[in-house]
């Protein structure tokens, strides 16, 4: 048996899986990040305890923790994840002290990529590029069937430079994909244009309270044919497509999978992505037989990915 855990800014989720990665039990509770590190660790232990196999604890092979980066995979340390009260927290050691079983750490976007490769849209594919587009943009690279992280911090697709003169990213550097195409960026761009007085349905959708504009509002307006909303999503899609075109030329993957809340806009986002890929890739060979699809696994993708990672790590240790 394996336990997968996904710790996000809003929810802590945990599930127990059997050796075929069938989910046997699943629980969740609020993270309550504002209560600080000690409280959140307490909630984490409690959530894990709820899915521990009570009758035969020795059957538990390991626990996988999916958390946002930056993190030190080898040391099992959370460096400074945004939206969570951790700083240089030796999370693997702390959880191991509680459960006395091996604990492994994985970046949450990497976990999602692993899960989509093993159980979702990329089953049977050799190489897969995963992007999660929500508040920020995360990436996961599965190359030749293996998660690729370089020296542990690789796969940061959200921080690829797509406009050298672009706005500052959350990380402090200019022109990164996340600063131009994340849900936050889509909302910010739309708000600026609405405030500048452009005619749009978005103003009605938020009853004139422009602070309420989110990527979801923009998606909704775009779905009704609103020109401003469509143009904002087009621009975001174009930047995502530029990044994907570059990744396709460097890595030549079998499939590209887009997850996260913003990807649920479907063709509204995928069409401009495809268009940009065709515009920027060196040769049709790079995209002709390389589908760009939306993720298949839902909100539990991080749990599945954490479990897949544990299975792989145990397999490696055994071979
Ligand atoms: Zn950045």
**Which is nearest to 105 in space by CA: 92, 121, 120?**
92
**In Å, what is the CA distance from 145 to each residue of 1, 59, 309, 312?**
22, 27, 12, 11
- Ligand 1 center–CA 12 separation, angstroms: 25
172 burial (CB, 10 Å; 0-12 / 13-18 / 19+) is exposed
Distance of CA 107 from the midpoint of ligand 1 (Å):
16
Question: What is the CA(160)–ligand 1 centre distance, in A?
Answer: 7
State how far the Cα of 188 lies from the Cα of 226, in Å rounded to an integer.
17
Supply the mean pLDDT for the chain: 95
- Flag whether pLDDT at 218 surpasses 90: yes
106 SS3 class: strand
Instruction: For residue 319, name the pLDDT band (cuts at 50, 70, 90).
Output: low
Using one digit for the tens of pLDDT, what is the confidence trace for 142-175? Answer: 999 999 999 888 999 999 999 999 999 988 999 9
- Give the Å distance between the CA of 187 and the centre of ligand 1: 17
pLDDT at 177: 98
Ligand 1 center to 153 CA (angstroms): 13
CA of 17 to the centre of ligand 1 (A): 35
pLDDT of residue 82 exceeding 80, the answer is: no
Ligand 1 (single-atom ion) residues, CB below 5 Å: 159, 169, 171, 176
List of domains in the chain: 2-108+299-318 (3.30.420.40), 121-294 (3.30.420.40)
Give me the phi and psi of 304, to 5 degrees please. -60, -45
Torsion of Cα atoms, 74 then 75 then 76 then 80, to 10°:
-110
How far away, in angstroms, is 46 Cα from ligand 1 center?
Answer: 34
Percentage of the residues of the chain whose pLDDT score is greater than 90: 88
Sequence-distant (6+) residues with CB within 8 A of 244 are 129, 131, 256, 273, 276, 277, 292
Whether 86 shows a pLDDT value over 90: the answer reads: yes
Only one residue has tokens 């232990």, namely 45
pLDDT at 121 over 90: yes
pLDDT tens-digit series, residues 267-302: 999 999 999 999 999 999 999 999 999 999 989 999
Q: Are 125 and 254 in contact (CB under 8 A)?
A: yes
Q: Which helix (H) or strand (E) holds 138?
A: strand 137-143
- For residue 137, the surrounding DSSP H or E stretch is strand 137-143
Q: How far is the CA of 178 from the centre of ligand 1 (A)?
A: 6
CA 23, CA 55: separation in Å to the nearest integer? Answer: 17
Strand, helix or coil for residue 12: strand
Read off the pLDDT of each residue in 102-111 and give the average, rounded to a whole number.
95
Neighbours of 45 (CB within 10 A): 15
Q: Where is average pLDDT lowest: 52-56, 98-102, 190-194, 315-319?
A: 315-319
CA 195–ligand 1 middle distance (angstroms)? 26
pLDDT of 56 > 80? The answer is: no
Alpha carbon distance, N-terminus to C-terminus of the chain: 19
Count of CB atoms within 10 A of residue 279's CB?
11
Nearest to 133 by CA among 178, 99, 169: 178
User: What per-residue confidence (pLDDT) applies to 318?
Assistant: 75
* pTM given for the model: 0.92
Q: How far apart are the CA of 165 and the centre of ligand 1, in A?
A: 13
- How close is the Cα of 171 to the center of ligand 1, in Å? 4
């Amino acid at each position: 048996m394996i336990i997968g855990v996904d710790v996000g800014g809003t929810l802590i989720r945990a599930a127990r899986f059997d050796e075929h990665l069938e989910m046997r039990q699943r629980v969740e509770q609020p993270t309550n990040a504002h209560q600080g590190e000690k409280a959140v660790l307490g909630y984490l232990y409690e959530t894990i305890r709820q899915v521990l196999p009570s009758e035969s604890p020795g059957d538990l092979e390991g626990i996988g923790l999916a958390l946002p980066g930056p993190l030190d995979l080898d040391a099992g340390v959370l460096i400074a994840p945004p939206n969570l009260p951790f700083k240089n927290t030796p999370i693997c050691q702390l959880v191991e002290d509680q459960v006395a079983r091996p604990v492994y750490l994985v970046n949450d976007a990497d976990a999602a990529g692993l899960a989509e490769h093993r159980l979702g849209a990329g089953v049977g594919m050799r190489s897969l590029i995963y992007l999660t587009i929500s508040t920020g943009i995360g990436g996961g690279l599965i190359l030749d069937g293996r998660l690729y992280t370089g020296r542990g911090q690789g796969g940061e697709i959200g921080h690829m430079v797509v406009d050298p003169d672009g706005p500052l990213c959350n990380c402090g550097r200019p022109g990164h994909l996340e600063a131009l195409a994340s849900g936050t960026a889509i909302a910010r761009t739309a708000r600026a244009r609405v405030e500048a007085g452009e005619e749009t349905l978005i103003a009605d959708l938020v009853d004139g309270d422009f602070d309420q504009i989110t990527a979801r509002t923009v998606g909704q307006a775009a779905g009704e044919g609103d020109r401003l909303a469509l143009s904002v999503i087009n621009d975001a899609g174009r930047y995502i497509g530029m990044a994907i075109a570059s990744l396709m030329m460097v890595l030549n993957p079998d499939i590209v999978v887009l997850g996260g809340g913003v990807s649920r806009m479907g063709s509204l986002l995928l069409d401009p992505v495809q268009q940009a890929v065709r515009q920027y890739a060196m040769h049709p060979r790079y995209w002709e037989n390389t589908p760009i699809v939306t993720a298949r696994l839902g909100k539990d993708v991080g749990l599945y990915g954490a479990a897949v990672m544990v299975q792989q790590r145990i397999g490696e240790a055994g071979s």
